[in-house]
Structures are given as C-alpha cells and as structure tokens.
C-alpha cells in the first residue's frame, strides 16, 4: 500500500512520469495493489478496440496464446507477481472469454454432454493438486497455476450444470 504523510505529497509523488509508467506497466492501483484487474480490463478493452478496428484480432489470438503460455511458465520464477498484469494474465483471459462468446452455441452444445465429466474431473484434479500428501505438493507447493486454472474449470462446469438443468 502507498503511504504518504500528506495528500499533497501523495499527489506530487503519484502523478510524475515514472510512477504513471510503472502503474501502466504493472497495473498498480493508486490506492492498493489488490485492484490491479480493473486497470487490466480497461487496457485490454482498448487493445480489443484497436485490434477490431485494424483487423488484427487473428494475430491477437495467437499473441494471447503465447502470453498465456509465458504466464504459466513465469509462475515458477521468483518474480511471477510482475506477470500478473493486463498483458500476461488479462489479455489471454479476455481473449478466451471473447472466443467462448463468439462460439457459445458450439461450446455449450459440445460441453452439455460432458458437463458432469468436466465438473468431477476438475474437482478431482483440484483435490490432488492441493492434497498434503500429493506428489505435486512435494515438487512445488503451492502450485501457483493450479488454483486459477482449476477454479475456472470448476466455475465453468458448474455454470453449464445450472444452465442446462
């Protein structure tokens, strides 16, 4: 959290070029670090707007796939928190949402037959990844990518279960 003695000191230190560039690059919130995703969504919407305007959305899909791969690889580095920003985490997640939204009829019809398999598999993998006696917990505990990925799968499969029934 950013701490300053006076409001005037906070204003003068925050709105200089270096803090603004740092805020944009790492999605730092002006008040606290836990609201980084608001800026990530805003930056990614701007990127989507220009990609649609200039017909670059196909290239953005490939870039998002590469950025997601780099994000998962980077989770094993000691500086992985710097990858939690609009580029490495926000853009791939929003691109996945966009693709699911564009192909929702296909996605729902395909997964409707496999909804319970997806749910049970996700819960099983979640329990294995976070089990105290798991081989995975011996290698790297806690697995930094397991919780977000598996929670997305569980949420999506629960959504399908509720939507279809």
pLDDT in tens, 30-89: 655 567 788 888 899 999 999 999 999 999 999 998 998 888 787 777 777 777 788 888
Q: Can you give the pTM of this predicted structure?
A: 0.64
DSSP 27: T
Q: How many residues does the chain have?
A: 165
**Alpha helical stretches, state H, the chain:** 7-14, 17-26, 36-53, 57-74, 91-102, 104-112, 115-129, 135-139, 146-164
Whole-angstrom distance, CA of residue 99 vs CA of residue 121:
23
Who wins on pLDDT, 146 or 94?
94
Whole-angstrom distance, CA of residue 126 vs CA of residue 145:
11
């Amino acid at each position: 959290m950013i701490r300053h003695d006076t409001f005037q000191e906070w204003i003068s230190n925050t709105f200089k070029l270096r803090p603004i560039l740092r805020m944009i690059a790492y999605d730092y919130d002006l008040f606290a670090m836990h609201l980084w995703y608001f800026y990530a969504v805003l930056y990614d919407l701007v990127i989507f707007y220009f990609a649609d305007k200039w017909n670059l959305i196909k290239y953005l899909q490939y870039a998002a796939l590469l950025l997601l791969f780099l994000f998962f690889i980077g989770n094993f580095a000691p500086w992985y928190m710097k990858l939690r920003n609009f580029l490495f985490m926000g853009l791939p997640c929003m691109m996945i949402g966009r693709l699911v939204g564009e192909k929702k009829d296909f996605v729902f019809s395909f997964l409707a037959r496999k909804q319970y398999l997806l749910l049970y598999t996700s819960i099983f993998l979640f329990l294995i990844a976070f089990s105290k006696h798991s081989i995975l917990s011996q290698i790297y505990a806690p697995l930094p990518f397991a919780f977000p990925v598996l929670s997305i799968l569980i949420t999506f499969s629960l959504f399908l279960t509720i939507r279809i029934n």
